[in-house]
Chains A and B, each alone.
Chain A
Amino acid sequence: AQKITQTQPGMFVQEKEAVTLDCTYDTSDPSYGLFWYKQPSSGEMIFLIYQGSYDQQNATEGRYSLNFQKARKSANLVISASQLGDSAMYFCAMREQATDKLIFGTGTRLQVFP
């Protein structure tokens, strides 16, 4: 069965520093997609970044990058130059290619302090 694991319930980082949020996954499908979403205290789900299983390069979107290590089945999110507004819950998710369903991890709460 497909599964997403986020082992860090909470993380702290100082403003302007980089932080890595861990995500490991388990699947037997050769084709899959990995997503990161941000959920601020207001509750909405904000898409951050996507990595396809066949992508050769790590995905980047502005200050967000995805450290994709396929052999280790990990897809860690790296946030560079943290800002106070980055304080939120972060969810890693994997998409089943056949149905487009997303399987979510339990999330990591990131707190950025001055």
Chain B
Amino acid sequence: NAGVTQTPKFRILKIGQSMTLQCTQDMNHNYMYWYRQDPGMGLKLIYYSVGAGITDKGEVPNGYNVSRSTTEDFPLRLELAAPSQTSVYFCASSSPAGVQPQHFGDGTRLSIL
């Protein structure tokens, strides 16, 4: 059981470039999330989705876009990368409510130079 899979694990971008961080889960979870973690800090929510075709902004959405065409996939798009987007990005998924925790991917370490 793979859980939540993120690709790539590491990436270096130049300022102004674009890229898509991939996230897929095989647990049939309705809810999916993207977080960023800056050095020495907790996680901040970028975007989330409660089901295919439904997305909403989190705490720090500027500079990012998402889509959710299937239950399994929730890609995060960075347009015009900026140094402030250097961070570790985590994707997570969960079942609605209940006592089940969010399951996290292993993260993508992204550097913008």
- Interface on A for B, CB 8 Å cutoff? 4, 33, 35, 37, 43-45, 47, 50, 52, 91, 97, 99-107
Number of A-B contacts (CB under 8 A): 58
Residues A43 and B43 in contact, CB atoms below 8 Å apart: no
Quote the shortest CB–CB distance from A22 to chain B (angstroms): 14
Residues A44 and B107 in contact, CB atoms below 8 Å apart: yes
Residues B48 and A101 in contact, CB atoms below 8 Å apart: yes
Nearest opposing residue in chain B for A44, CB measure: B106
Quote the shortest CB–CB distance from A80 to chain B (angstroms): 21
**Interface residue count on the B side (C-beta < 8 Å):** 27
- The interface residues of chain A lying within 8 Å CB-to-CB of B77 are none
Instruction: A45 to B99: give the CA distance in the assembly, Å.
Output: 17
- Interface on B for A, CB 8 Å cutoff? 31, 33, 35, 40-45, 48, 50, 56, 58, 88, 90, 92, 94, 96-97, 99, 101-104, 106-107, 109
Residues B101 and A91 in contact, CB atoms below 8 Å apart: no
Instruction: A59 to B41: give the CA distance in the assembly, Å.
Output: 26
Residues B42 and A104 in contact, CB atoms below 8 Å apart: yes
